[in-house]
Amino acid sequence: MRLLIACIAAVVAFSSVVIYIELTARPVANNGPIEIETSTEVFRIEVVLSFNAGADLFAENTEEATSLLVKLGNRVLFSDTNTINAGQAIIISDVSNLTVGTNELHLEATPEDASQFVPRTAKIEVYSSWQSDPIATQLLWADATDTKLSGNVIFGAPATTPKSLHNHDPSE
Amino acid sequence: MFQAKISALLITGGLLLCAFQGVATAEEPKPLIVCSTTQVADFARQVVGDRMQVRSILAPGQDPHLYEIKPGDAKIVAQAVICFDNGWHLEGNDWMRNLANTAGIKIVSCTTGCKPLELEDQGQKIHDPHAWFSPSNAAVFVRNIRDALVELDKEHEAEYQARTQLYLDQLRTLHGWILRQVNTIPRDRRILVTSHDAFNYFCREYGFKAATPIGWSTGSELGGGITPERRKNTVDSIKRYGVKAIFVETSVNPALIREIAKDAGVEIGGELYSDSMGGPGTAGENYLGMMRENVLTIVGSMK
């Protein structure tokens, strides 16, 4: 009889522990690779500088001495080592494979004549193919005494063009 | 008991071996880089860090145009893995290139790729060798040194690239700072009178007019040295433009500039670092400090 009670007590205790573990088990973190969704949309970026940009004399490599550089992560969207005149619109077309959600553009522009002490700006606009208004507009500033203008522009990219706009009948 | 003794012996032996290993590593000499001038040596140090040893043949305050090779110089150069000189004949009669060539050591001229200022004398054109006085040319010096070191020691390329990146940013900051300082002096008052023609690149970059009694070299090369005509022109320029102060240079005998100051009735504005940087512990012991102190001296005297 004692042996039977002891066995039942042992089974009850073991089962209680198993049930406790099952109930309190924490969800395991998903350590798998993070999937990045790519937008099927095509974008256009326009940049206008308020100053003449020239080759960067302090660049690490002379062949990379850019007057204007626009990057998306490690991807160079636009790069030029020649002079870019103030007011000249730089249009970067057919920008695709953006990440769905937040994207970050990086811009660097070097004043051709840093001895002109005036504040400098770069206007950046991001357009999607289905909208006439920009989806992002930003003005980057550099102080009058800065020898380089640089900054980031953050904007959101949708997964695809909204269907309602694709199926939109202009005659309506 | 016996086992304990063996263990103790093994541990002691191991410790001694490690200690000797440490001593051996500490005494292992680092590869040597030999440079002609103090500026070039400073640029090399900025790129190479403590990875190699950097020595300059010229001591602070010495004149590269007039330097005469000492018996020990050839021995130093012979130990180098690479040599750097300024080039464009800053080193009078190319003494550094001759030393390196004699020892069979590779030598790289830092002015390669700089946009030269051409001086004309007796119908001949000469490249002004004082290119480092423009921070954008200093950036060329640094890139040339980096490229040569990367070729020599590919294993530590990332390190050399990273140090160069930081130093180029510092040069960019220096350039912006000089522009701001110089901007406080009206452009028509920016006349720089110094002992010899060392500051032409600085003058071009920051809108100064240069006037000097001695040509581009303190030596007797073409276009160098003092002539009565140059001396007279300098005094006349000082009077005509109402120059407030003139400057002596750390690496050039100040006697002549003091005489000219007396003749023209102007003050000595101070001492500028020119062909050589300052000694250890001085404000001008490196390139950034040397340029900073020069600009503060010039701007302070012209206000």
| Integer Cα distance of B39 and B277 in angstroms | 7
Query: In this prediction, what percent of chain A has a pLDDT beyond 90?
Result: 48
Q: Are residues B146 and B189 in the same domain?
A: no
pLDDT at residue A31, as a whole number: 58
Identify all chain A residues contacting B206, using CB atoms and an 8 Å cutoff.
115
Q: Are residues B37 and B155 in the same domain?
A: yes
* Between residues A5 and B161, the one the model is more confident about: B161
Between CA A152 and CA A71 the distance in angstroms is 9
Domain-terminating residue out of B175, B191, B225 = B175
Min Cα distance A81 → chain B (Å) is 16
**Quick check: helix, strand or coil at residue B125?**
strand
- Judging by DSSP bridges, how do beta strands B209-211 and B107-109 pair with one another? unpaired
Question: Are B272 and B190 in the same domain?
Answer: yes
Same domain, B37 and B19: no
The pLDDT value recorded for residue B215 is 61
Say whether both B140 and B226 belong to one domain.
no
B113 CB neighbours in chain A (<8 A) are: 62
In tens digits, chain B (303 residues) has pLDDT values of 455 565 555 555 555 554 445 444 556 889 999 999 999 999 999 999 999 999 999 999 899 999 999 999 999 999 999 999 999 999 999 999 999 999 999 999 999 999 999 987 677 888 999 999 999 999 999 999 999 999 999 999 999 999 999 999 999 999 989 988 998 888 888 989 888 888 999 999 998 988 777 665 555 554 556 678 878 888 888 888 888 889 998 877 788 888 888 888 889 999 999 999 999 999 999 999 999 999 999 999 988
Distance CA B275, CA B129 (A): 10
Q: Of the segments A69-73, A143-147, B228-232, B293-297, which one has the largest average pLDDT value?
A: B293-297
Quick: pLDDT tens for A81-133.
999 999 999 999 999 989 888 999 999 999 998 888 889 999 999 998 878 89
* Nearest CB to B164 within list A60, A115, A117: A60
Instruction: For chain A, give percent helix, strand, coil, nearest 5.
Output: 15, 35, 45
Contact A115 B183 (CB under 8 A): yes
Q: d(Cα B225, Cα B221) in Å, to the nearest integer? A: 7
Report the residue of chain A nearest B204, measured CA to CA. Answer: A115
Q: What is the pLDDT of residue A171?
A: 45
Q: How many domains does chain B have?
A: 3
Instruction: Give the range of the structural domain holding residue B142, as residue numbers without chain letter.
Output: 32-175
Asked whether residue B183 falls in the same domain as residue B240, the answer is yes
Helices (H), B131-254: 135-152, 157-182, 200-206, 228-240
Q: How many CB atoms are located within 10 Å of the residue B196 CB?
A: 27
B283 and B256 in a single domain? The answer is: yes
pLDDT of residue A30: 55
B37 and B139 fall within a common domain: yes
Do residues B186 and B107 both lie within one domain?
no
Any chain B CB within 8 A of the CB of A123?
no
Selecting from B161, B172, B179 the residue whose C-beta is nearest the C-beta of A58 gives B172
Q: Which of A3-7, A29-33, A84-88, B8-12 reaches the highest mean pLDDT? A: A84-88
Residues B152 and B182 both lie in one domain: no
- Cβ atoms B55, B49 nearer than 8 A: no
Amino acid residing at A148: K
* Predicted pLDDT at A129: 81
Using CB atoms, pick whichever of A61, A145, A148 lies closest to residue B172: A148
Last residue of one domain, picked from the residues B143, B175, B207: B175
Residues on chain B touching A147 (C-beta within 8 angstroms): 172-173, 175-176, 179
Asked if B119 and B156 sit in the same domain, the reply is yes
- Cβ of A145 and B161 within 8 Å? no
Q: What pLDDT does residue B24 have?
A: 46
Quick one: B116 and B158 in the same domain? yes
Q: Please, what is the Cα angle at B43 between B154 and A83, to 5 degrees?
A: 90
Contacts of B164 in chain A (CB under 8 A): 60
Contact A117 B179 (CB under 8 A): yes
- Domain CATH for B79: 3.40.50.1980
Could you tell me which residues come within 8 angstroms of residue A47 by beta carbon, excluding any fewer than 6 positions away?
A: A68, A70, A78, A89, A90, A92, A107, A122, A123, A124
Q: How far is CA B65 from CA B10, B40, B248, B252, in A?
A: 62, 15, 17, 10
A60 touches chain B (CB under 8 A): yes
In this predicted structure, what is the pLDDT of residue A37?
Answer: 83
